[in-house]
A and B are shown apart, each in its own frame.
Chain A
Amino acid sequence: MKRFVAAALLACLAVGAFAQAPVVAALKGKKVEITIWTHEDPNRTALEKRLIDEFVKANPGVKVNYVTYPSGKIKDIVVAGFAANAGPDIFNLEIFDGYQFISNGRVAQVDYAAAGYRNAKDLESKYLAGMLEPVIEKGKVYGLPLELTNWALFINKKIMRDAGIDPDKDWPRTWEDIMSQSERIVRREGQIITRRGFDFRYPYYLTSVMPMVEQLGGELVSKDGKAVVTNDAAWLKVLNYFKDFGPNGRNLGSPTYAAARKLFDNDKNEIAMSLSGLYQEARMRDANKAFYESGEWMVVPYPQWKDAAKKVPNNYYGHYYMVNAQKPKLSQQASWALLGWMLRHGEEYLEKVAIVQPTKALMESATFKAMPYSDVFAKDLAAAHIVYYGEASSKIESLLKEAFESVMLSGTDPAKALDKLRKDVRAALED
Chain B
Amino acid sequence: MGARRRVPGLERERARWGWRFVAPGIVFFSIFSFYPMLNAFWTSFFNKKLLSLKSPDFVGLANYVRVLGSPEFWNSARATGVFTLGVFIPLFSLSLLFAALITGLRRGRRLVQAALYSPAVLSSVVAALIWLLMLDPRGLANQFANFLAGTPGVDRKWLADARMVQISTMIVYVWKYLGYFTILFVTGMGKIPESVYEAAMIDGAGPFRRFFSVTLPLLRPTTVMVTVMIVIQCMKTFSTQYLFTQSGAPSAPINVITLNIYNTAMRDLNIGRASVMSTLLFMLMLGLTYVQLRFSRRGEDDL
Answer yes or no: are A and B bound together in one complex. Answer: yes
B residues less than 8 Å from A431 (CB atoms)? 268, 270
In the bound complex, CA of A392 to CA of B50 (Å)? 13
Interface band, chain A: 35 or more
Q: Which of B51, B158, B250 contacts A83 (CB 8 A)?
A: B51
How many B residues are at the interface, by size bracket?
20 to 34
Instruction: Name B's interface SS.
Output: loop
Chain B CB count within 10 A is highest, among A193, A256, A398, A405, for A256
Q: Chain B contacts of A294 at CB under 8 A?
A: none
Given A79-B266, A83-B51, A247-B155, verify A398-B251 contact (CB < 8 Å). Answer: yes
Q: Which of B105-113, B134-142, B169-177, B279-287 contacts A (4 or more CB under 8 A)?
A: B134-142
- Chain A 81-124 interface mask (CB, 8 Å, partner B; 1/0): 01100000000000000001100111000000000000000000
| Contact between B248 and A202, CB atoms less than 8 A apart | yes
Smallest Cβ-Cβ distance to B267: which chain A residue: A394
Nearest CB of chain B from residue A417's CB, rounded to whole Å: 11
B23 at the interface (CB under 8 A from A): no
CB distance from B15 to the nearest CB of A (A): 38
Q: How far is the CA of A254 from the CA of B158 in the complex (A)?
A: 12
Q: Evaluate contact between B248 and A190: CB separation under 8 angstroms.
A: no
Q: Complex: how many Å from CA A257 to CA B160?
A: 9
Whether A83 contacts B268 in the complex (CB less than 8 A), given A190-B155, A256-B249, A398-B251, comes out as no
- Are A258 and B51 in contact, CB atoms less than 8 angstroms apart? no
| Distance in angstroms between the alpha carbons of A392 and B136 in the assembled complex | 32
Bound-complex Cα distance A258 to B52 (A): 38
- Are B268 and A255 neighbours in the complex by a CB distance under 8 Å? no
Closest to B159 in A: A256
- Compute the total of residue contacts between A and B using a CB distance below 8 Å: 95
In the complex, which residue of chain A has the Cβ closest to the Cβ of B133?
A: A258
Nearest B-chain residue to A405, judged by Cβ: B250
| B192 located at the interface, meaning its Cβ lies under 8 Å from any Cβ of chain A in the complex | no
Residues from chain B with a CB closer than 8 A to the CB of A395 are 267-268
**By the criterion CB–CB under 8 Å, are A256 and B269 in contact?**
no
Report the minimum CB–CB distance from A13 to chain B (whole Å).
45
With A192-B137, A256-B160 as given contacts, are A406 and B250 in contact (CB-CB < 8 Å)? yes
Q: Which residues of A contact B153 (CB under 8 A)?
A: 188-192
CA distance A76 to B246 in the complex (A): 14
Cβ contacts under 8 Å, B159 to chain A: 256
Residues of B within 8 A of A202 (CB): 248
State the CA gap A82–B53 with chains docked (Å): 10
A-B contact pairs, 20 of them (CB 8 A): A76-B266, A79-B51, A80-B266, A83-B51, A100-B269, A104-B53, A189-B153, A191-B153, A192-B142, A247-B160, A254-B137, A255-B160, A256-B137, A256-B248, A257-B137, A394-B268, A402-B250, A405-B250, A406-B252, A409-B160
Question: A: which residues have CB within 8 A of B?
Answer: 72, 75-76, 79-80, 82-83, 100-101, 104-106, 188-194, 202-203, 247, 254-258, 392, 394-395, 398, 401-402, 405-406, 409-410, 428, 431
Q: Which 3 pairs from chain A and chain B are nearest by CB? A: A190-B153, A255-B248, A191-B155
